[in-house]
């Protein structure tokens, strides 16, 4: 059998790769199938053939999988925001559980026979929306990028965003159209309005406009239209970004109207969030994840905690109530300022936050004689850097709670930590991003 480009073959989807594509085998070769569902029997057209693998699309569904469903979102699959509307949610959880388990076994060298995944609501769960803006037939539009491109797919009612975000987006677009606001063009760097950014919380919504100038036309009109569309709006902020870059936010914000921050609570701790603050986009699931992390940490009143990559201090502050002292480390200055302010507002006095690289801060703490009995790490997708792993092993905490957004780098780090004297004791996956291929995991390592 020849897997040449444009050749047609019949196959059965048997599983999923890490990005959620279906997997089948043809003549001993692995074929990745876009939007394939486990159990599909289909005719496939090869779109790319490599030496040891190929990529295909479904030409004809001969026998649809019982796990398949009709997408409820009219923008799927053109919109690149979601990956899994073509399958039932139970099957999505199966795919994510398989992804974490495969990574731990193949890359981490661990045996996890009964990995559990905690699912959540898969509609309107996101408390943060960033809509890129564009012009379509002379009118301003906003939505999400088409997969693997920067073409904006207009979106009226996103199935995973908060309805408040869509309401504010429509208010901004009405203002942009009636007031002749220029829309930013990536190719030329010209135009005023780049992104519409909405964050929602228990109080309501905070609107941020990413613009190339502080001078916006008819701001009173903008305020009126947005308040009309969203009565629970607490403030409007301008964020200036003049760089021709894919980075959405600039470094400076100015409050145009109302409050420049949004209040929300997580695990009984109040958080004050600026537009530049990191905060989990799925609050109910994040609360479950943090509660699991606290349970894994198994604090005693005399324990000391080191939280690397602490962001705005969410995990640090949630855990500080359970131990004697908690230290958070984060490299982003704005996030550290937010963490300190959140600690002050909550009256939490047994914490301190260092603004430094994780490895540098850990080295500083070692020199001070600080020896944490519990360490929490919540690194970016690239996982722990070599310095952080080295310092962790030197500090030798009794328990390590690893929170991960990437199963592959987590599994790599767990392998190296187990080689350094730790044992993987427990692990649990959490679906914080339903309908996308992303999955979070919490793992507990104990000193062997």
| Six token digits for residue 315 | 């995990």
Of the listed 42, 73, 253, 405, which one is catalytic? 405
Alpha-carbon separation of residue 200 from 114, 279, 386 (angstroms): 36, 11, 36
| Six token digits for residue 101 | 């388990």
Sign of CA dihedral 225, 227, 230, 233: positive
Question: Does the annotation count 405 as an active-site position?
Answer: yes
Alpha-carbon separation of residue 12 from 33, 36, 55 (angstroms): 10, 9, 14
Catalytic residues: 405
């Amino acid at each position: 059998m020849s897997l040449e480009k444009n050749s047609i073959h019949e196959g059965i989807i048997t599983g999923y790769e890490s990005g959620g594509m279906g997997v089948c085998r043809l003549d001993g070769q692995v074929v990745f199938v876009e939007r394939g569902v486990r159990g599909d029997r289909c005719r496939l057209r090869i779109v790319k053939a490599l030496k040891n693998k190929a990529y295909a699309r479904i030409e004809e569904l001969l026998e649809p999988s019982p796990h398949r469903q009709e997408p409820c979102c009219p923008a799927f699959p053109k919109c690149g925001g979601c990956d899994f509307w073509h399958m039932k949610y139970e099957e999505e959880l199966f795919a994510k559980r398989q992804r974490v388990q495969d990574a731990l076994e193949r890359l981490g060298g661990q045996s996890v026979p009964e990995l559990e995944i905690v699912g959540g609501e898969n509609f309107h769960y996101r408390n943060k929306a960033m809509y890129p803006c564009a012009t379509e037939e002379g009118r301003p539009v906003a939505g999400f990028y088409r997969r693997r491109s920067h073409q904006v797919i207009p979106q009226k009612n996103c199935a995973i965003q908060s309805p408040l975000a869509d309401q504010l987006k429509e208010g901004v677009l009405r203002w942009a159209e009636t007031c002749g606001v220029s829309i930013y063009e990536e190719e030329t760097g010209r135009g005023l309005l780049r992104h519409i950014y909405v964050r929602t919380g228990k109080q309501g919504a905070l609107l941020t406009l990413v613009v190339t100038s502080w001078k916006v036309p008819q701001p009173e009109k903008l305020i009126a239209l947005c308040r009309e569309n969203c009565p629970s709006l607490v403030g409007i902020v301008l964020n200036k970004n003049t760089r021709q870059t894919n980075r959405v936010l600039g470094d400076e914000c100015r409050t145009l109207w109302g409050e420049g921050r949004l209040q929300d609570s997580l695990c009984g701790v109040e958080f004050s969030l600026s537009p530049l603050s990191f905060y989990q986009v799925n609050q109910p699931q994040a609360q479950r994840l943090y509660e699991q992390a606290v349970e894994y940490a198994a604090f005693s009143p005399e324990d000391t905690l080191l939280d690397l990559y602490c962001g705005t201090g969410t995990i640090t502050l949630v855990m500080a109530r359970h131990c004697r002292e908690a230290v958070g480390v984060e490299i982003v200055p704005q996030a550290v300022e937010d963490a300190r302010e959140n600690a002050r507002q909550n009256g939490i006095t047994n914490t301190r936050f260092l603004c430094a690289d994780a490895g540098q801060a850990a080295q500083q703490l070692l020199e001070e004689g600080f020896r944490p009995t519990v360490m929490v790490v919540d690194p970016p997708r690239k996982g722990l850097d070599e310095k952080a792993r080295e310092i962790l092993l030197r500090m030798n905490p009794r328990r390590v709670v690893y929170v991960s957004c990437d199963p592959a780098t987590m599994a790599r780090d767990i392998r190296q930590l187990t080689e350094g004297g730790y044992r993987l004791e427990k692990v649990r996956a959490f679906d914080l991003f339903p309908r996308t291929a992303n999955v979070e995991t919490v793992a507990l390592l104990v000193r062997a």
